[in-house]
């Protein structure tokens, strides 16, 4: 199962838009970001054929409880995929009366969230992306099914060591909890008759214990006296199948000081049971459970469950519970013993809990991460279990409710605190000394502020906690963070607790050697409780260093210090990405460094796809250059054996823009090889891309591949092609057909619905043409079936579409199918050290005639590229090394024929500094050097001219 993604790409430029990863460049998930990433999921981690979506506010009038009406494109799409139901998830919720609270935090609107079920036949991933592409929705996601987070152990009696570790006995001397403070337990259910739980339940007296079938309190739930079973939509929250929720309830607030069984941190705080599982114990209504708890008075909401999947729906629910309703959500950080974000714990506003044992060392099973806020005991915790008894369990599932019980005591001590203030106090008063224990040093900065401490929490009213929130990161240019760029980092400093002094200061530190902080200090000064300021006018600044790896993740820490109080906040930025978006003309696409086209990663991530005339609608689902010479040797970056698709190529030269341009208005070049393939062919590919702005040439982008045999033996029967999963007219991709125009060496795809656009791929080089149309449906329509088997799209099937002909696809249905197309050329025989060139035009048009005109124009343009061939300057990319240099500078390039070459060195102002070479040079690899030791430090650039064609290359001199 490949990863799911919801995609929205925003057009930000009309010339060059170099792609960025996960804007806005932090680990914090933002609703409405360009896209969000979800991990690979097992089949039991999401509901099949089920989607959660949120309608944009401007379409509110179209929203009914049991459907969305009046949107023709949506109606047609629902019909095409066989939609069975589409109904509001929270029909009792209305739009908030205002958009923001007093701190400028946006209130969540649950009234436009729907659950949609369809009857199959279409892949879940694709349905999600196509729905999002309609433009009607804020988010479209799978329906995640989280799992309870605990590590079972044989039940046994034992001491409750954890109460001592969190200083509960000392804390209870000050505060034993208020019955007005409610801890919501969203879990597998409770044992209502348990002697240590029954007296702790917050009964809904407004609805009364009598079962009368009437919603007495008009809250939308009938007879919900004991809580609610959200998973099965009934009044009984008693546990089923899994007693996890019984144990969790006791960890938080079992009846204490009653001479019965156990004590619990929450003491007199009450429990609100919210069962979120079905009869089998599967957590099918987890986030709905959070909503119910928030709506029914829970001050603290415990979530001893989660998973790796985190989308905008979950964050919206957290926003609602926290910002709209003022609750505090506390969640387990996961039991995978790994450094990873876990949801809902990793969401913004949630308090993420790691687990410790009896010696305050991180439990072996517990996750750790920058997203962790605090720790709590979670190993061998004695608590209530079913059968009116007690037993031990271990897990972050136990640590989370222990922390929730402490939070309940803090809320009881400071009843006017909002949930976020309670969370701030929990973090500010944690026992930080555990972080320096030898067993915890390996998890530096990833166990939060320390171990929760109840006594500190209720006896330190002057504790301080300032949040660094709403971060904004830019390079004040294209917001593509590359080597040499200076990042500007700003945000809001929100004071949740005691007022600060004039000495309060924020300090930025890079936790990576790949980034150097330039300005790392901001004077926060005096801030009253619940006041805020920002550093927008004097932001932090940091520069990305030379040598930073591709797609590097740079973690930062912002330390906020006021006297003896220090609060640390962590975030990450992804820099030095390895793909470029082409937005030069009417066709927008993405050129990557490893052979993918349209998107840098599987699942429509990191890129524009292939767009024509409709900026928010992608005509291509995925595409890749593909080579092969047998049924067991194919190298590509398309779907196949791995969850993320085949990854057969590695980058040698990252794709870059050639400046000044040589051939077109926008030249790109790069180099990769197929060494990651299970059976490499031994081909190194120099790839180039060209785009023009001139009339007649605005509807295509050319991609050119120089295939060099860098292996040890002759490669025979080699084919090279471009394979694409086309979704022409995007939303109605199930109505596509594929065909070919053999005279133009072009395969194309079109939509059978009237007025649909056309897209195609054409062979431009004087090499053979082949086209294979693929029905991307079960059975393959009589051809190759890319949807079945393991792998779904095998090496043998890929070679078939590369090397054999199938002119059409989509003919098994009157209105077409979901189709793919492979346009290829071959076979070639390539001796060791030799190369063969194959070029393709990626085309779009309003109709077939328009597409054919663009194909003809692309051929004329490509045939007219004269003078220095792309191989001449690009086979070795005009390499300059080392860069920076403080002495000798070496230059390397390749000429495929004898040529007149002139190489000069200029300073940053354009003044000529030296002539490196001038005159005739023979064919082949060229190696030159220049002595730059006499130059002053600074930026220079080489200018190389071959037969009248010129390119430039920067060089940094660092002479002392």
**Higher per-residue pLDDT: 535 or 606:** 535
What would the pLDDT profile of 878-929 be if each residue is shown by its tens digit?
A: 667 677 777 778 777 777 678 888 899 988 777 888 898 888 888 766 777 7
Residue range 98-125, pLDDT digits in tens: 988 888 888 999 999 999 999 867 778 8
Instruction: Out of 93, 194, 244, 247, pick the active-site residue.
Output: 244
The β-bridge relationship of strands 83-88 and 746-751 is: unpaired
- According to the model, what pLDDT value does residue 147 have? 76
Q: Is 322 helix (H, G, I), strand (E, B) or coil?
A: helix
Confidence category of residue 678, pLDDT binned at 50, 70, 90: very high
pLDDT at position 41 over 70: no
Q: 282-291, 617-626, 750-759: which range is least confident on average? A: 750-759
Task: Kindly state the percentage of the chain with pLDDT values over 70.
Answer: 90
Range of weakest confidence among 157-161, 570-574, 951-955 = 157-161
Spell out a b/e string for 98-113, using b for 16 or more CB atoms within 10 Å of the CB, else e. Answer: eeeeebebebbbbbbb
pLDDT at 685: 95
* pLDDT of the residue at 866: 39
Can you give the pLDDT at residue 616?
A: 56
Burial status of residue 509 (CB atoms within 10 A of its CB: 0-12, 13-18, 19 or more): middle
Higher pLDDT, 3 or 127: 127
Specify the pTM: 0.71
Q: Which of 671-675, 886-890, 952-956 has the highest average model confidence (pLDDT)?
A: 671-675
Q: What is the residue whose two structure tokens read 């179209």?
A: 62
Residue 383: band (very low, low, confident or very high) from pLDDT cuts 50, 70, 90: very high
**397: annotated active-site residue:** yes
Lowest-pLDDT range of 49-63, 165-179, 883-897: 883-897
The answer on pLDDT for 23 being more than 80 is no
Ranking 20-24, 426-430, 812-816 by mean pLDDT, the lowest is: 20-24
At residue 605, the pLDDT reads: 77
Burial state string for 894-929 with b = 16 or more CB within 10 A and e = fewer than 16: bbeeebebbbbbeeeeeeebeebeeeebeeeebebe
Mean pLDDT value across residues 286-291: 96
Looking at residue 631, what is its pLDDT?
95
Q: What's the pLDDT band for 425 if we cut at 50, 70, 90?
A: very high
Q: What is the DSSP letter of 4?
A: P
Catalytic residue (one of 167, 187, 578, 818): 187
Task: For 457-476, give the DSSP string.
Answer: HHH-TT---EEEEEEEEE-S
pLDDT band at 447 (very low <50, low <70, confident <90, very high): very high
**Owner of token pair 């949120």:** 54
> Which tokens is 699 given?
């509807």
Side-chain-facing half-sphere of 693: CA atoms under 13 Å: 9
- Of the pLDDT bands very low, low, confident and very high (cuts 50, 70, 90), residue 13 is very low
pLDDT mean across residues, the chain = 87
Q: How confident is the model at residue 617 (pLDDT cuts 50, 70, 90)?
A: low
- pLDDT at residue 154 above 60? no
Q: Which one is catalytic: 397, 412, 669, 724?
A: 397
Residues 693/694/700/701 CA torsion (nearest 10 deg): -50
The phi, psi pair for 920, rounded to 5°, reads -80, 140
pLDDT in tens, 626-650: 999 999 999 999 987 555 568 999 9
**Given this model, what pLDDT does residue 644 score?**
55
The candidate with the shortest Cα–Cα distance to 845, out of 951, 728, 718, is: 728
Residue 167 Cα distances to 161, 363, 854, angstroms: 10, 19, 75
Q: By percentage, how much of the chain surpasses pLDDT 90?
A: 62
The pLDDT of residue 614 is: 63
């Amino acid at each position: 199962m490949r990863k799911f993604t919801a995609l929205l790409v925003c057009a930000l430029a009309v010339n060059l838009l170099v792609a960025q990863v996960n804007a806005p460049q932090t680990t914090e998930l933002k609703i409405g970001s360009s896209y969000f990433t979800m991990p690979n999921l097992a089949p039991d981690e999401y509901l099949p054929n089920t989607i959660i979506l949120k309608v944009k506010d401007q379409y509110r009038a179209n929203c009914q409880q049991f459907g969305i009406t009046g949107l023709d494109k949506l109606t047609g799409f629902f019909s095409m995929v066989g939609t069975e139901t589409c109904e509001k998830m929270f029909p009792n919720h209305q739009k908030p009366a205002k958009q923001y609270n007093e701190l400028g935090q946006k209130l969540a609107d649950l009234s436009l969230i729907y659950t949609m079920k369809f009857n199959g036949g279409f892949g879940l991933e694709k349905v999600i992306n196509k729905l999002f592409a309609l433009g009607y929705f804020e988010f479209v996601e799978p329906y995640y099914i989280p799992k309870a987070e605990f590590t079972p152990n044989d039940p046994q009696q034992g001491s409750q060591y954890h109460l001592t570790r969190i200083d509960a006995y000392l804390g209870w001397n000050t505060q034993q909890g208020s019955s007005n403070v409610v801890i919501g337990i969203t879990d597998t259910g409770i044992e209502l008759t348990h002697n240590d739980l029954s007296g702790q339940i917050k009964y809904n007296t407004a609805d009364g214990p009598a079962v009368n079938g009437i919603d007495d309190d008009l809250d939308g739930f009938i007879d919900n006296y004991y809580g609610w079973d959200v998973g099965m939509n009934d009044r009984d929250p008693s546990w089923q199948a899994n007693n996890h929720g019984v144990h969790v309830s006791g960890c938080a607030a079992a009846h204490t000081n009653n001479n019965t069984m156990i004590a619990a941190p929450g003491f007199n705080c009450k429990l609100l049971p919210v069962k979120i599982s079905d009869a089998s114990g599967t957590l099918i209504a987890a986030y709905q459970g959070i909503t119910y708890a928030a709506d029914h008075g829970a001050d603290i909401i415990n979530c001893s469950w989660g998973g790796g999947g985190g989308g905008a729906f979950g964050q919206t629910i957290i926003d609602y519970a926290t910002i709209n309703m003022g609750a505090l959500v506390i969640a387990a950080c996961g039991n995978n013993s790994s450094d990873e974000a876990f949801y809902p714990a990793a969401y913004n506003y949630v308090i993420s809990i790691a687990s410790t044992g009896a010696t305050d060392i991180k439990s072996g099973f517990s996750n750790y991460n920058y997203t962790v806020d605090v720790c709590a005991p979670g190993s061998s915790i004695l608590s209530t279990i079913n059968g009116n008894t007690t037993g031990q369990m271990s897990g972050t599932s136990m640590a989370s409710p222990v922390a929730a019980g402490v939070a309940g005591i803090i809320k009881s001590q400071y009843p006017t605190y909002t949930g976020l203030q309670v969370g701030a106090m929990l973090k500010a008063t944690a026992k930080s000394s555990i972080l320096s224990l030898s067993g915890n040093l390996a998890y530096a900065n990833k166990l939060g502020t320390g171990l929760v401490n109840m006594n500190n929490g209720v006896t330190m009213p002057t504790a301080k906690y300032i949040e660094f929130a709403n971060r904004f990161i830019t390079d004040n240019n294209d917001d593509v963070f590359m080597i040499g760029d200076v990042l500007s980092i700003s945000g809001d400093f929100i004071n949740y607790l005691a007022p600060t002094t004039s000495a309060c200061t924020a300090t930025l530190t890079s936790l990576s050697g790949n980034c150097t902080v330039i300005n790392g200090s901001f004077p926060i000064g005096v801030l009253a409780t619940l006041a805020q300021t920002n550093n927008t006018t004097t932001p932090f600044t940091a520069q990305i260093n030379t040598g930073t790896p591709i797609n590097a993740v740079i973690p930062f820490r912002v330390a906020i210090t006021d006297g003896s109080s220090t609060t640390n906040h962590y975030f990450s930025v992804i820099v030095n990405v390895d793909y470029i978006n082409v937005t030069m003309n009417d066709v927008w696409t993405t050129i990557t460094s490893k052979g993918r086209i349209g998107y840098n990663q599987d699942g429509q991530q990191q890129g524009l796809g292939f767009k024509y005339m409709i900026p928010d609608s992608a005509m291509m689902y995925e595409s890749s250059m593909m080579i092969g010479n047998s049924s067991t040797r194919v190298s590509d970056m398309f779907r196949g054996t791995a969850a993320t698709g085949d990854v057969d190529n590695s980058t040698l030269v990252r794709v870059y823009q050639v400046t000044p341009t040589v051939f077109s208005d926008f030249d790109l070049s790069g180099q990769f090889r197929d060494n990651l393939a299970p059976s490499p062919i031994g081909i190194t590919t120099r790839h180039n891309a060209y785009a023009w702005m001139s009339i007649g040439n605005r509807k295509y982008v050319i991609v050119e591949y120089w295939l060099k045999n860098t292996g040890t033996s002759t490669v025979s029967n080699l084919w090279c092609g471009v394979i694409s999963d086309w979704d022409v007219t995007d939303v109605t991709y199930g109505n596509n057909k594929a065909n070919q125009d053999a005279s133009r060496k072009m395969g194309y795809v079109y939509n059978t619905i009237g007025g649909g656009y056309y897209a195609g791929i054409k062979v431009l080089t004087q090499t053979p043409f082949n086209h294979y149309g693929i029905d991307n449906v079960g059975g393959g329509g009589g051809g190759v079936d890319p949807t079945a088997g393991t792998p779904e799209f095998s090496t043998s099937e890929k070679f078939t579409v590369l090397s054999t002909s199938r002119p059409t696809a989509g003919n098994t249905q009157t209105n077409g199918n979901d189709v793919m197309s492979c346009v290829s050329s071959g076979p070639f025989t390539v001796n060791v050290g030799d190369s063969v060139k194959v070029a393709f035009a990626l085309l779009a048009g309003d109709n077939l005639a328009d597409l054919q005109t663009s194909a003809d124009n692309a051929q004329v343009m490509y045939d007219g590229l004269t003078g220095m061939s792309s191989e001449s300057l690009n086979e070795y990319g005009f390499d300059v090394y080392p860069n920076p240099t403080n002495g000798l500078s070496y230059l390397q390039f390749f000429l495929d024929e004898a040529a007149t070459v002139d190489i000069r060195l200029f300073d940053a102002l354009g003044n000529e500094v030296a002539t490196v070479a001038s005159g005739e040079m023979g064919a082949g690899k060229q190696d030159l050097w220049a002595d730059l030791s006499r130059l002053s430090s600074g930026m220079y650039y080489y200018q190389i001219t071959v037969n009248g064609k010129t390119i430039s290359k920067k060089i940094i001199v660092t002479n002392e």
